[in-house]
């Protein structure tokens, strides 16, 4: 590839992503004067947000998704009418945004519980192709009974089974991405050979949860393996992320907590999640992540402190869209650049390249060695 920057040369730089969800992470964000609630289900709304994130040279955006309506209750739907309800499919949003962006990574959420790995493998591989190597995937499990009723196949598994299933799921997806070798497509009109059949491989995955022969119907993605990421709050999801993901999002309370968590997740990248609400009182926000309410300069101080504790990047959740996103791109980013800890321009063409991660070898290619 020749584009992957030296990880050693990037040690001073932190990485930034934003998590996009509806009108923002504050439940009343849709009522803000500059909010666009009438456009939440339009392509223009999402392309505008991602283009703004790209203007700030952020590494990637994540796009939230789920198998049920948003709810303030952890166990099922609520009856509130003062909250944003409904969403577009995150993978399809990313596919729509891909052709109108050039550099920023696109990381839709896709739930593994109740879905099939063959479909997700194909969808994320397609996204990597249409974005020229900028795709990733935020893996999510579903433990809500009301979401299980949409499918009617089974009751919700216990937490151990949810993550055991997710582990198998990711393994199947990764094998399917490798089921085409990089040069399997010949496209030789003179001989009439479009593919080299010897370079398509059955994955023959058989386990207690999935039995998938393969190969995929989509050629190997440009990155080889699009980035797999997961949000983790406790020991079990930490283990899942460490064994199955390339990057984990965690939710520290402070620098000491960040240091302790980073030691439990031995991955090249551990990103801390923060809800950001600049210049005001963030009342009504209850979150799994720390809520930050100061100035861009104060946030820059916090990011540098947590980076020294072992956090390699940050996924910022704007409380209000577009207001807090604009503050991130137009005030926080310049502040970080002035301190010499954030890029001034994109230095790679793929998401793996931006994060200093190599392109993996294909496990099925002759002579390949895959860890």
Lookup result for tokens 């072992």: 310
CA distance 91 to 137: 9
| CA distances in angstroms from 349 to 93, 101, 178, 223, 346, listed in the order given | 21, 12, 21, 10, 8
Instruction: Identify the CATH number of the domain in which residue 84 sits.
Output: 3.20.20.30
Say if residue 5's pLDDT is above 50: no
Question: What is the spatial distance between Cα 183 and Cα 61, in angstroms, rounded to a whole number?
Answer: 30
Is the omega angle on the peptide bond into residue 174 within 30 degrees of 0, that is, cis?
no
For residue 73, being part of any structural domain is answered with yes
Q: What is the pLDDT of residues 274-329, one digit of tens each?
A: 999 998 788 788 899 999 999 999 999 999 999 999 999 999 999 999 999 999 99
- pLDDT over 60 at 138, yes or no: yes
Question: In this structure, is the dihedral angle defined by the CA atoms of residues 72, 77, 78 and 84, taken in order, positive or negative?
Answer: positive
Residue 12: what pLDDT? 64
Going by C-alpha positions, the residue among 368, 294, 304 that lies closest to residue 331 is: 294
**Which pTM value belongs to this model?**
0.94
120, 166 contact by CB (below 8 A): no
Q: pLDDT (tens digit, 9 = 90+) per residue, 214-251?
A: 999 999 999 999 999 999 999 999 999 999 999 999 99
| pLDDT value, residue 4 | 39
Hey, is 11 helix, strand or coil? coil
Residue 209 lies in a domain: no
Q: What is the extent of the structural domain holding 151?
A: 8-179+223-354
Q: Is residue 293 part of a domain?
A: yes
CA–CA separation, 292 vs 97, rounded Å? Answer: 29
- Distances in whole angstroms, Cα of residue 355 to Cα of each of 17, 134, 242, 341: 11, 11, 17, 14
Angle value at C-alpha 163, between 86 and 233, nearest 5 degrees: 70
Per-residue pLDDT band at 367 (split at 50, 70, 90): low
pLDDT at residue 8 greater than cutoff 80: no
When the pLDDT of each residue in the chain is averaged and rounded to a whole number, the result is: 94
Flag whether 312 is in a domain.
yes
Instruction: Give dist(CA 169, CA 194) in Å, integer.
Output: 30
Joined together, the tokens standing for residue 197 give 């059949």
Looking at the domain assignment, is residue 191 inside a domain?
Answer: no
User: Rg of the Cα trace of the chain?
Assistant: 21
Residue 323 CB neighbour total at 10 angstroms: 21
In a domain, 207, yes or no: no
Task: Take residue 11 and report the two structure tokens written for it.
Answer: 């040690």
DSSP string, 85-132: -----HHHHHHHHGGG-SSSEEEEEEE-TTS-HHHHHHHHHHHHHHTT
In degrees and rounded to multiples of 5, residue 193 shows phi and psi of -105, 115
Distances (CA, A) of 115 to 74, 80, 118, 146: 21, 28, 9, 15
CA-CA distance, 142 to 149, in Å (whole number)?
Answer: 12
pLDDT the model gives residue 75: 82
Length of the chain: 371
Pairing of strands 15-20, 60-63: parallel
**Beta strand residue intervals within 149-235, DSSP E:** 185-188, 193-195, 205-206, 211-212, 227-231
Task: Please state the domain count of the chain.
Answer: 1
The CA–CA distances, whole Å, from 322 to 23, 104, 340 equal: 8, 18, 26
**Does residue 213 fall inside a structural domain?**
no
Residue 217 inside a domain? The answer is no
Q: What tokens were used for 187? A: 């496209």
Give the per-residue pLDDT at 88: 98
Residue 104 has pLDDT above 70, yes or no: yes
How many Å separate Cα 171 from the centre of its chain?
17
The tokens of 177 are what?
């991405």
d(CA 337, CA 57): 11
The first and second tokens of residue 153, run together, are 């196949």
**pLDDT recorded at residue 220:** 98
């Amino acid at each position: 590839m020749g584009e992957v920057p030296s990880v050693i040369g990037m040690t001073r730089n932190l990485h930034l992503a934003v998590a996009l969800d509806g009108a923002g992470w504050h439940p009343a964000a849709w009522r803000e004067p500059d909010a666009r609630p009438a456009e939440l289900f339009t392509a223009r709304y999402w392309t505008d947000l991602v283009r703004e994130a790209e203007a700030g040279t952020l590494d990637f955006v994540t796009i939230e998704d789920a198998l049920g309506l948003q709810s303030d209750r952890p166990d099922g739907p609520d009856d509130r009418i003062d909250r944003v309800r409904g969403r577009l499919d995150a993978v399809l949003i990313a596919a729509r945004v891909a052709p109108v962006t050039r550099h920023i990574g696109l990381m839709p959420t896709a739930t593994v519980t109740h879905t099939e790995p063959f479909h997700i493998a194909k969808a994320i591989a397609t996204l990597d192709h249409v974005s020229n190597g900028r795709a990733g995937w935020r893996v999510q499990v579903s433990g809500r009974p009301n979401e299980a009723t949409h499918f009617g196949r089974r009751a919700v598994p216990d937490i151990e089974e949810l993550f055991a299933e997710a582990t198998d799921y990711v393994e199947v997806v990764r094998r399917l991405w490798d089921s085409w070798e990089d040069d399997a497509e010949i496209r030789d009109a003179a001989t009439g050979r479009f593919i080299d059949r010897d370079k398509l491989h059955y994955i023959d995955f058989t386990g207690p949860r999935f039995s998938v022969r393969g190969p995929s119907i989509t050629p190997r993605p440009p990155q080889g393996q699009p980035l797999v990421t997961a949000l983790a709050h406790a020991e079990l999801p930490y283990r899942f992320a460490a064994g199955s993901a390339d990057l984990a999002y965690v939710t520290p309370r402070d620098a000491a907590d960040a240091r302790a968590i980073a030691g439990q997740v031995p991955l090249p990248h551990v990103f801390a999640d923060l809800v950001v609400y600049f210049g005001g009182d963030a009342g009504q926000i209850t979150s799994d992540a720390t809520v930050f309410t100061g100035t861009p300069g104060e946030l820059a101080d916090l990011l540098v402190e947590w980076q020294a504790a072992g956090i390699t990047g940050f996924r910022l959740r704007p409380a209000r869209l577009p207001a807090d996103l604009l503050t991130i791109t137009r005030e926080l980013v310049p502040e970080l650049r002035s301190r010499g800890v954030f890029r001034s321009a994109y230095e790679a063409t793929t998401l793996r390249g931006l994060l200093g991660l190599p392109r993996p070898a294909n496990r099925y290619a002759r002579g390949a060695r895959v860890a």
